[in-house]
Amino acid sequence: MDETCGGWSREQDVQGHPEIQKICDMVKPHVEIKVGKIFEEFTAKRFISQVVAGMNYIIKVHVGGSVFVLVKVFQALPYEGGVLTLGVCQYPKEEGDPLTPS
């Protein structure tokens, strides 16, 4: 990842970043509650990240058919336990929708 402190990275494919899918797997139940829908598929596709006092991520997740959800997740620093906090969820989205901080 080639972000600078405070700025958002360029959009990246999840391939080669297995930690992004792991984050998605962990927040999936919370996303489902937030949007009021159970997803059989929940596959991370693209993301941007931002270094802060931890890491912010906006992740585009494929949830079936041509439908996506954008999730914003904050990951605390390792010495703070690396806790994940789910922020804004945007649903439904399309594959071509941009990853934009909200």
Beta carbons of 25 and 42 less than 8 angstroms apart: yes
Q: Answer whether residue 100 is part of any domain.
A: no
- Residue 22 belongs to domain spanning: 12-93
Cis peptide bond prior to 101, omega within 30° of 0: no
**98 lies in a domain?**
no
pLDDT along the chain (102 residues), means of 10: 70 96 98 97 97 95 97 96 95 94 70
Which tokens hold the place of 88?
């804004």
* Rounded CA separation 92/51 (Å): 27
In a domain, 101, yes or no: no
Give the per-residue pLDDT at 101: 74
4 belongs to a structural domain: no
- For the chain, how many structural domains are there in total? 1
Residue at 87 is within a domain: yes
- Structural domain includes residue 3: no
- Residue 85 CA to residue 49 CA, distance in Å, equals 14
Q: What is the CATH number of the domain that holds 61?
A: 3.10.450
